[in-house]
A and B are shown apart, each in its own frame.
Chain A
Amino acid sequence: MKILAIDSSGLVASVAVVEDDITIAEYTVNYKKTHSQTLLPMLDELKHMTALDLHTIDAVAVAAGPGSFTGLRIGSATAKGLGLALDIPIIPVPTVDALAYNLYGSDRLICPVMDARRDQVYTGLYVFRKAAGQGEGYSMCTVEKQCAVDISQIVERINELGQETVFLGDGVSVYREQIADRIQVDYSFAPACCNRQRASCVAALGMLLYSNGIAETAADHAPDYLRLSQAERERAEKGIRQ
């Protein structure tokens, strides 16, 4: 199976083409230019560099949220345009899950942290469990589903679990001190090679999801923001007060 993957959920823009267990190409940029200017030129470069025939792509996997609302939509709209033109499905991959998948095989608790503004983080907790047989792979298990919470809440949960934890994600630089202040277990931060969104992770996890029947038509796909818009939130709060 050949998957084209996109992640523009955070500061990183990343695209990849993965066929079964081989990453044919991956292009990841963490630079201040807007995703709208970088994403398609990156895909175009990747296509030329690998003489990619787009019609051999079976599905588009996209980091489908949470993340920057605009970033998510740039990724999703790109995926939808590709899906429409190539008549292929979209695999929506939860952003935080894909971020955790960077640390495949780790025997520690994994805590991706994305800056969600408004003093919150998009986060979750994951562990990898080895399947029984010799040579069998690990499967990623969700301890806490991806969510938008205060950093203190997720650190408290880690303290409750009492397991050594590896943090990663663009929220680490923002919340490093707050994590250090509150955490009661041994912990560390993942290094540069595997601490940000990567489209190859979106593709690899996407392939697993696809084999479990998770895919949608390009027309039906929309990001999962995990948050209402400000106007909807305020309207709902007003409703409660009245």
Chain B
Amino acid sequence: METKQDVLILAIESSCDETAAAVVKNGRDVLSNVISSQIELHTLYGGVVPEIASRKHIEKINQVIGESLREAGVALNEITAIAVTYGPGLVGALLVGVSAAKAISFATEKPLIGVHHIEGHISANFIENKELEPPFVCLVVSGGHTHLVVVKDYGEYEILGCTRDDAAGEAFDKVARTIGLGYPGGPKIDRLSKEGDPDAIRFPRARVDGSDYDFSFSGLKSAVLNYLNSCGMKGIEVNRADVAASFQKAVIDVLVEHSLNAVKEYGFDKFAIAGGVASNSSLRAAFETECARREIAFYHPSPVFCTDNAAMIGVAGYYEYIKGTRSGYDLNAIPNLRLGER
């Protein structure tokens, strides 16, 4: 009788400011998940500096990969395939992971699988929710992305909407900067909001004309700026917690409404969130309440799998591997890679 061999994916992720590697077994079992964060370094500059990020990646990449293998208790020759993020992201940063992954694939003669970063974020939901299977609707919200996606099958996506300007996380960062909270804005606004009144200031809930599922956050950002300016001119003291809470509520309202309308329209009973902003506690609470009310099963990854990590790339890489996806040694980093494109 033939025994089914375990599929072990070594996954590498370096698309932004985290150098990460993981070993994932059979698509759902995370044996290791090592992340070297550069966040403190970039805080000095108020945001991610691409050249500095790339330099850090190359310093850390081997340690991180080595640690992921050691933690998993797996030797490199036991690995089935190498998965690596090849876009979207910062090109210089992506190239470090892509180049290293290609060299490892070449030297070990293991298959190479280029993985889409957003596909990774979506797949993070499979790690802790063993019962979750497509189809479902997923909202991906992070510093660089705001996508509303139908996950039709593993590796098959239909993009319903995305942001026309700033990503949700970007809006958090910018507003955090204007009220003096600093970088990274998401967690800081989340924390300060707990002390504020979300209904204190009525910021606009932006719609994009002619598109039910697209997002726009630059108007909201301007509204916050205008509010702060007018307070300044009138000599009114600004309550930063109220601004944070009201801004956050405006973002969340739009995300919840668009997402759950899509779930209803497409007739699914499952909904998931993914990406760095998906670890925002108020966003989760809002979705939890609304999904419960509408009898929709709500899924979300733990915070560690929301922010950039390689475990999610390993999961996505596994399903691509099963489908037969293979990348060549000419695999390049593609900074503006679209979901569903190869």
Contact = CB atoms under 8 A, between A and B. Distances in A.
Decide whether A and B assemble into one complex: yes
Interface stretch (A22-30, A70-78, A129-137, A178-186): A70-78
B106 interface: yes
A232 B52 CA distance: 8
18 contacts: A40-B99, A40-B102, A40-B330, A41-B328, A70-B54, A70-B92, A73-B96, A76-B58, A78-B99, A79-B103, A80-B62, A81-B99, A81-B100, A82-B107, A85-B108, A223-B58, A229-B49, A231-B49
A44 B106 contact: yes
A40 B332 contact: no
Contact of A85 (B52, B76, B332, B333): B76
B51 A74 contact: no
Given A44-B106, A219-B66, A81 B101 contact: yes
Interface of B: 44-45, 49, 51-52, 54-55, 58-59, 61-63, 65-66, 76, 91-92, 95-104, 106-108, 328-330, 332-333
Contacts of B44: 235
Interface in A206-226: 218-219, 222-223, 225
A40 to B, nearest CB: 4
A182 to B, nearest CB: 32
Interface residues of A, number: 35
Secondary structure of the A contact surface, majority rule: helix
A222 B57 CA distance: 10
A225 B56 CA distance: 13
A70 B58 contact: no
Interface string A119-141: 00000000000000000000000
B103 A82 contact: yes
Contacts, number: 109
A69 B54 contact: yes
A50 interface: no
A105 to B, nearest CB: 34
A86 interface: yes
Given A81-B103, A219-B66, A222-B58, A70 B95 contact: yes
A37 interface: yes
A178 to B, nearest CB: 28
5 shortest interchain CB distances as A-B pairs: A81-B103, A85-B107, A77-B99, A40-B329, A229-B51
Contacts of A86: 107
A223 B59 CA distance: 9
A84 interface: yes
Given A36-B332, A36-B333, A229-B49, A222 B55 contact: yes
A183 to B, nearest CB: 34
Nearest to A44: B329
Contacts of B92: 69-70, 73
A38 B330 CA distance: 6
A202 B54 CA distance: 24
A17 interface: no
Given A41-B329, A77-B103, A229-B51, A84 B65 contact: yes
Nearest to A37: B330
B62 A84 contact: yes
Contacts of A188: none
A81 B107 contact: yes
Nearest to B62: A219
Instruction: Identify the interface centre among B52, B61, B100, B101: most chain A CB within 10 Å of its CB.
Output: B100
A66 interface: no
Given A40-B106, A82-B106, A231 B100 contact: no
Interface string A80-100: 111111100000000000000
Contacts of B63: 219
Contacts of A77: 58, 61, 95-100, 103
Contacts of B328: 41
